[in-house]
Structure 1
């Protein structure tokens, strides 16, 4: 009776890097930063009375419960 043991060698995954132009990368990073700042403003800072969109409380009421859930002060 012969016993043979199979030897398993790990195989490195074949990966191909994503190549983009530097201008595209900068534009994506800048767009993401601007979108994040807008979300931060509307969720955490906009109180309605001092809104950049006038006296409308629509955005304040839209994000009201989320603001309390995230721990932002309100009122």
Structure 2
């Protein structure tokens, strides 16, 4: 009965990706990460690079405290 059940063994193989294919993704991830870090950690509202509005600061206010960034 066990011979009737065919078991297929597959092996995972590594795929080599050229640097030209991964570099745009890595750079995009870096830019997005730096923007998130800026808006969460550095933007203070009054000293914002994007104008004298505190809208972004108020949107991420609780996340700033949760992550340990001071803002007062």
TM tier, shorter chain?
Answer: 0.7 to 0.9
Q: Which structure 1 residue ranges, 4+ long, deviate > 2 Å from structure 2?
A: 16-21
The CA deviation at 1:72 is 0.3
Structure number with bigger Rg: 1
RMSD of aligned C-alpha atoms?
Answer: 1.6
Specify every segment of 5 or more residues in structure 2 that has no aligned partner in the other structure, as ranges. 1-8
What TM-score do you get using the length of structure 2 for normalisation? 0.78
Counterpart for residue 62 of structure 2: 65
Partner of 1:31 in structure 2? 28
Structure 1: 5+ residue stretches without partners:
1-11
- TM-score w.r.t. the length of structure 1 is 0.75
Q: How many residues align?
A: 64
